[in-house]
Amino acid sequence: MKENVVIIGGGIAGMEAARQLLLLGYTPIIVEKKDHLGGHVARWHKLFPDMAPAGDLVRRLSEAISEANIFLETRITSINRLSNGYVVMLSNGVSIPCRAVLGASGFRLFDASKKEEYGYGVYNHVITNSDLEAWFNGAEDPRIVADPKAVGFVHCVGSRDLKAGNSQCSKVCCMTAVKQAIELKERFPDARIYCFYMDLRLFGKKYEDFYINAQQEYGIQFIRGRVSEVGETAEERLQVKAEDTLSGKPLKVQLDLLVLMSGMVCNPEVAEFARTIRLDVDSDGFLKSLDNVGGINRSNQPGFFYAGACTGTKTVPETLAEARAAALDIHRYLLGK
Amino acid sequence: MMDFGFKLSKSATIDLDRAGTERYEKLCALSPDARTCMACGSCSATCTAASFSGMSVRKVILGLQRGQDVRPLLSACMLCGKCTLVCPRGINTRRLILNLSKSYD
Ligand SMILES: Cc1cc2nc3c(=O)[nH]c(=O)nc-3n(C[C@H](O)[C@H](O)[C@H](O)COP(=O)(O)OP(=O)(O)OC[C@H]3O[C@@H](n4cnc5c(N)ncnc54)[C@H](O)[C@@H]3O)c2cc1C
Ligand code: SF4
Ligand code: SF4
Ligand code: SF4
């Protein structure tokens, strides 16, 4: 009989790991709490830097893991240690003994309504990066007016913010903002578009090209200052205040749409099962890798592995690479090497 | 003699080799969180005194790091504490201003 490997979370990390584990001759069992696979990526429209449809990636991965056991709308009720592995109990009554478990439970998007000064859920034209992706994918959104004259993007919403409880940089949202600014400009060529940033972190392959393009071809304006507050005018336009730190002056501008770049924060659910089997949790609330250089895939417990955004903010290619590495690491572990 | 309009003016260059940062160091001893400013400008954007006077905690901290006299900025501060509410690095900017003002007494 083929050996079971339990995978917690059916995002792209869990899916890619399942694909590799199938190839290595195991039976991956994906436990996913939602009613579909793909995690956050299933909600995104086009992925930087190649602008390939996110749906294609999820579809390809789904096809590749048709032979895996997949439990949708299922939660982990408990995990217990055995001398030689774990027993994972599921909300559907199934319990699975196994020698290796992969944590692939991903991240959570920062709840933008917690930053009250930005008016998400209060003013009519404030949305998040995630809302905008859904709109690109065809969802209706009455907050997005038909003919916006001016649009703003607020970087670092809930990231790099000790008051919001997150000191970490979410790392993908600078690039997401530049990408989304370009996509909005393509749809609304007459709109003025501003990005309010503190630092532009465009570290990845081709990211800087997007920045240059955003300036050169699309005329996106980059303003170095964190938005301090948002108000609404009598005409229901948004009034945004920041310091233009490069000219050293307070700045205000009226906008028809404000997009908040909500950050990637830890998934608080993992704290529960982490506690019962004594997995270390890092200072940022993410699951703690054994080390952050050579041991990102490993936890402090034997037989428990990680892939993707459950240990910190990750891009899609990083997540996929980690998932492949984790599958191999699990293989090595199960061979007793 | 032709007047070419030239005159000797003070160099506008910030000379870090000569910039005295003693006051900044003294301030950091009392308000160590001053060192964590990331120059985001939230304090200045929200400051009621800023648009009239140019007051800005960001400029105060930067000015001290560059060895400048920041007293002209400080005089407009009403110690209302709005800047403290918005600082993403959690710097107690109001206390910072108080500590700094005392150091000039
Ligand atoms: C707005 C935005 C746009 C982005 N765009 C790009 C891009 O264009 N290109 C790029 O490279 N990266 C992009 N990213 C990053 C990308 O979303 C992540 O790299 C990716 O989602 C990480 O995948 P994951 O599987 O680790 O986590 P997730 O996508 O979070 O998936 C985790 C899965 O686990 C499930 N789960 C969680 N807890 C449990 C539990 N207790 N039990 C069972 N199931 C559970 C969740 O329901 C989810 O399905 C973007 C991020 C954001 C925020
Ligand atoms: S990637 Fe950019 S927007 Fe996102 S938290 Fe980091 S600096 Fe802020
Ligand atoms: S305390 Fe001073 S610097 Fe801070 S917001 Fe009030 S007036 Fe401005
Ligand atoms: S709000 Fe805080 S971090 Fe930002 S510039 Fe002012 S003092 Fe510095």
Query: Whose atoms come closest to the Cα of A166: which ligand?
Result: 2
Is there an atom of ligand 3 within 6 Å of B27 CB? no
**Closest of A87, A69, A103 to residue A323, by C-alpha:** A103
Q: Which CATH number fits domain A110-263: 3.40.50.300, 3.40.30.10, 3.50.50.60, 3.40.50.2300?
A: 3.50.50.60
| Whole-number Cα distances in Å, B7 to A212, B10, B13 | 41, 10, 17
Amino acid occupying residue A115: K
Instruction: Assign 3-state DSSP to chain B and report helix, strand, coil percentages, each to 5.
Output: 50, 0, 50
Beta strands across the sheet bearing A150-157: A126-128, A257-262, A150-157, A192-197, A221-224
Which pLDDT tens digit goes with each residue over A225-264?
999 999 999 999 999 999 999 999 999 999 999 999 999 9
Every domain of chain A and the residues it spans: 4-107+266-334, 110-263
Contact residues of ligand 2, CB 6 A cut-off: A 155-156, 159-160, 169-171, 173-174, 199, 201, 261, 263
pTM for this model (two decimals): 0.95
Which pLDDT tens digit goes with each residue over A95-153?
999 999 999 999 999 999 999 999 999 999 999 999 999 999 999 999 999 999 999 99
> What are the structural domains, with CATH classification, of chain B?
22-104 (1.10.1060.10)
The domains spanning A4-107+266-334 and A110-263 adopt the same CATH topology:
yes
Question: How much is the ipTM here?
Answer: 0.88
Bridge-partner residues for B37, per DSSP? none
- Classify domain A4-107+266-334 at the CATH superfamily level: FAD/NAD(P)-binding domain (3.50.50.60)
Which atom of ligand 2 sits closest to the CA of residue A172?
1
Which pLDDT tens digit goes with each residue over A47-101?
999 999 999 999 999 999 999 999 999 999 999 999 999 999 999 999 999 999 9
- pLDDT tens track, chain B, 105 positions: 566 666 667 788 888 888 889 999 999 999 999 999 999 999 999 998 988 888 999 999 999 999 999 999 999 999 999 999 999 999 999 999 999 999 887
How much is the average pLDDT of A285-295?
A: 96
Q: Residues 6 or more apart from A204 whose CB is under 8 A from it?
A: A48, A49, A175, A315
Degrees to nearest 5, angle at CA A294 with A289 and A296: 25
Which pLDDT tens digit goes with each residue over A11-45?
999 999 999 999 999 999 999 999 999 999 999 99
Interchain CB contact of A244 with B (< 8 Å): yes
